[in-house]
Amino acid sequence: MRNFKLYHLAGYTLGKNLFLTADNADGTLDVTVISRVIDEICERGGCYGV
């Protein structure tokens, strides 16, 4: 939770311009889901320097 407070103080908000990833049970990441979340954040104006 401490990290979230630091992110918030730096201007980041979970679901707006900050998102979390988690490994699947086999240790992989679903890149298609991550890409979709990034696209949604950018569409809402949350991407900086991308």
Q: Residue 18 forms beta bridges with which residues?
A: 14
Q: How far apart are CA 23 and CA 39, in angstroms?
A: 20
pLDDT of residue 1: 62
Residue 50 lies in a domain: no
For residue 36, what are its two tokens?
Answer: 């979709």
pLDDT of residue 14: 83
Range of the domain at 32: 2-43
pTM of the entire structure?
0.53
What's the average pLDDT block by block, 10 residues per block, for the chain (50 residues)?
84 81 88 86 74
Cα separations in angstroms, 14 against 25, 26, 27, 40: 23, 25, 23, 13
Residue 38 lies in a domain: yes
pLDDT of residue 49: 63
pLDDT of residue 3: 80
Number of domains in the chain: 1
